[in-house]
Structures are given as structure tokens and as C-alpha cells.
Amino acid sequence: MSAIHSDSYPHSYYFSTMNHASSYPHLSEAIEADVCIVGGGFSGIASAVELAERGFNVVLLEAKKIAWGASGRNGGQMIRGIGHDLSAFKKQIGHEGVDAISQMGFEANQVVIDRITKYNIKCDLTMGYCDLATRTKDMHSLEQDYELLSKGSYGVKVELLDQQQLHQQVVGSQRFIGGLTDVGSGHLHPLNLCLGEAKVAHELGVRLFENSQVIKIEKGETIVVHTEHGRVKAKQMILAGNAYLGELVPKISGKILPAGSYIIATEQLPEDLHQAILPNNHAVCDMKIDLDYFRLSADKRLLFGGMCNYSGRDPKDIKAALHPKMLKVFPELSNIKIDFQWGGMIGIGANRLPQIGRLTPNIYYAQAYSGHGVNVTHMAAKLLAQAISGNSQEFEYFNEVKHMTFPGGRHLRSPLLALGMMYHKMIDAF
């Protein structure tokens, strides 16, 4: 079974089925670049591709291995939008800003799909997603979403299903009373996507360095980024460490909380069983605060995730924590073996809006995707590349939003948010 953290990849289902291992050198000399990117996950790698396509000389520094963090461990669900209601931000960015960010969220999936198609990245992309209602109030929310999506600018077919339709078309569980399907969203193998994009970046001329943790940043008109054995001089910089940035840049690390998210993967399921539980191979999520999400892998295992942990402490046994939740949804899997268990940290901000902005005139950052990282990271990368290229109108809407620093410093951030989430779970139960 898996170790949650290690210097190499966690022993996850993704690690066991990756197309190729990354093998990039560590930085051991002084070099120069137009842009230095810190972080080798989706945000950093996608930004590197976007910038290289625009002709920039790019260096990327990863503290461990490409996609070692959330980008190589997540649920692999690519879901439309940024995940949260934007109405609260009208005072800061106006109706025009809210509408622009909403549209960017709708278009984010296509950014990923276009990247996969353009460079023929093998990552098991499968279209089809469904939000699941377990309560009447969830169904009312889905009805409202259906009206907005079907009459708005999303431009992709969505369908509202009652319990019988849901059971026949999406998920063979009596736990859910309805759902909203979306053929513009879907699921994929996130580690293979990120590794594939890193290969693309390398072929476009990006210099990628692994095991090259940044220990110091000298700000100025020219930025100097130091690792233990080398340094990079750059005109501009992107901070893309998200939940794994640590205290390198306290001004932004204080605005994000690393929260644990965990997954188990079953053995391969016989055809009659996987057809019974997920007949059309959708990715699905329920609508609770502490949501469950699940899907089939390409080789027909059930990947079941959830149990977002805000305490800062990993569970001692992921399987023991998640397996009972899985059996509540699919009791028929009681005799099915669990082959993998793993977890990692996602980045969450206080207001749940992705944090995409500018620290200084030449230092940019992107973080806090709150569980929607597969697509929103790629949207952020496109915005960062546009801003660095001098075309930054859409980027500025995100940059104008003010984000709260979590109180209490890094030691109290997790306990305080854990208390807050406990309160919201209690409210959500009614």
C-alpha cells in the first residue's frame, strides 16, 4: 500500500501506470532566462508550455519530481468552471469581471482538451461528468444550475436526471436522488497529462530541473533565484508551488491552506460489475461539503476519493477511512480488494477563488484551486502567459481580487480552518 509522501512519487495507481518516468537534471550552475518558474505541477508546466509557444526562454525549477504534488495525485476529474459562486466578488471586479471569470471557467476544459489533442498526449481522456444529489436541496440547486447552463454561454449539452434516469445512465446506487450530466467535463490520468506536458515543454526548449528546491529569491529588475547548487537570473518569475510552496514567499503562502485529500483504488472490476456501478463511465461528485468523488480508471478500477482533511494531519490508514464510505455507495463491492491508497495536499484559499496575481511588476503567482486544479491550472497558465506577454485584461480581473491572509500564522491556520469547516458541515447537514 502507499506511502503518502516520499521524495519519489507516492505508490498510487497513477504511479503504477505512468507512461514514462521523468528524468530531468538538478540545477548545478548559474544560468539565465526570460522567465523562471518555481513548481513542476500543472500550473508551472502548463505555464512553461504557454510561454515557450510564445517564444520565451524559460527555466522551470521543481523541488522534487515533475507532478510530485497534487498534479500527480488528484482525482483526475476535469470539471467545468472554477467550482464556486462568483457573485460575492461583484463589488471588487464588477459584473463585467464576474462574467469574464465565469466564461473563462467554462472555457478552461477546452484549454486542456486542445493541449492534449495538439500534442497527442496519452492520458486516458474520457468525456462525461455528473453532479449527484443526495438531498432535496441538492436537487433544487441542480435545477438552478441546469437553467443557467442550458440558457447561458456554456454551449455544451447538460441534462437533468431524476433518480430512475440517473440509476440507468450514470451510477448504479440508490444513494442518489438525481443528477446533472455534462458532456463537456470528464476525467483523465493526471500524472500522465503532466508528464506529457513536461515532455512537450522540454521539446519546445524549456529547461526543466528536478530535485532543485528554491531556497532564496532576490527581487529586483533582475530576479535571482537560488537553489542549493545553482542559480537562475531571470527578467520575470512565476510562483507555482501552490500547497507545496511552503514558507518561501510568506506573503502568498499565508493566503493558502494545504488541505489533505485522499483516494483508494480497487482491483480491476469484472465487466458486469463496472457496467452496473458506472454504466457510461462518467466521473461523478456528490454535493456535500465533505464530498465524495469517484470514477473508473482506464483499466476499470474504481477510484474513490474524498475525506478532505483540514487538520494538517494525514490519516493513519487511508483505506480504513475511505473504504466504509465507498461501501455506503456501492455495498456490492464489499469483497473487492483495494489495491492502492494515497493522498496529497490541495491548496485552499479563504474565499475559494483561485488566486492568480502579481506580487511585484515582474513576479507572478497562481495557487488555491480548491479542488478544481485540473482545468483551472491550465486557465491560469494561459492568463499568466498573456500577462507576461503584455496582454493582461483577463488576468487583471483575478489580480484585482483581495485575498485574506489566514490568521494565526502557519501553525494555527489548519486548526482554525478545521473548526470553520466543521461549522459549515453542521450547517450543510440541515
Report the pLDDT value the prediction gives residue 1, as an integer from 0 to 100.
Answer: 33
Instruction: Specify whether the CB–CB gap between 225 and 231 falls below 8 A.
Output: yes
User: 3-state secondary structure string, the chain?
Assistant: CCCCCCCCCCCCHHHHCCCCCCCCCCCCCEEEEEEEEECCCHHHHHHHHHHHHCCCCEEEECCCCCCCCHHHCCCCEECCCCCCCCHHHHHHHHHHHHHHHHHHHHHHHHHHHHHHHHHCCCCCCEEEEEEEECCHHHHHHHHHHHHHHHHCCCCCCEEEEEHHHHHHHCCCCCCCCEEEEEEEEEECCHHHHHHHHHHHHHHCCCEEECCCCEEEEECCCCEEEEECCCEEEEEEEEECCHHHCCCCCHHHHCCCEEEEEEEEEECCCCHHHHHHHCCCCCEEEECCCCCCEEEECCCCCEEEEEEEECCCCCCCCHHHHHHHHHHHHCHHHCCCCEEEEEEEEEEECCCCCCEEEEEECCEEEEECCCCCHHHHHHHHHHHHHHHHCCCCHHHHHHHCCCCCCCCCHHHHHHHHHHHHHHHHHHHHCC
Report the pLDDT value the prediction gives residue 41, as an integer from 0 to 100.
Answer: 97
Chain Cα centroid distance, residue 225: 26
Report the pLDDT value the prediction gives residue 409, as an integer from 0 to 100.
Answer: 60
Cα–Cα distance for residue pair 127/351, rounded to 1 Å: 29
Cell 445512465: give the residue. 169
Evaluated on CA atoms 214, 212, 116, 342, the torsion sign reads negative
Cα–Cα distance for residue pair 145/105, rounded to 1 Å: 14
Full-model pTM: 0.94
Burial (CB < 10 A; 0-12, 13-18, 19+), residue 368, is buried
Contacts of 267 (CB under 8 A, 6+ apart): 301, 336, 337, 338, 339
Cell 480497487: give the residue. 266
> Measuring CA to CA, which residue among 301, 281, 317 is closest to residue 3?
317
> Measuring CA to CA, which residue among 286, 256, 285 is closest to residue 351?
256
72 φψ region: left (φ > 0), alpha (ψ -120 to 50), beta (else): alpha
Report the pLDDT value the prediction gives residue 87, as an integer from 0 to 100.
Answer: 86
Cα–Cα distance for residue pair 281/179, rounded to 1 Å: 15
Architecture category of domain 125-186+258-342 in CATH:
2-Layer Sandwich (3.30)
* Amino acid at the residue 57: N
C-alpha cell at 187: 476525467
Report the pLDDT value the prediction gives residue 315, as an integer from 0 to 100.
Answer: 83
The residues of the chain that CATH labels 3.30.9.10 are 125-186+258-342
The residues of the chain that CATH labels 3.50.50.60 are 13-74+191-257+351-425
> Measuring CA to CA, which residue among 257, 220, 254 is closest to residue 237?
220
Q: What confidence tens digit (pLDDT) does each residue in 373-421 have?
A: 999 999 999 999 999 999 888 999 999 999 999 876 655 555 555 555 5
**Ranges in the chain, pLDDT < 50:** 1-6, 422-424, 426-427
Report the pLDDT value the prediction gives residue 412, as an integer from 0 to 100.
Answer: 56
For 13-74+191-257+351-425, which CATH superfamily applies? FAD/NAD(P)-binding domain (3.50.50.60)
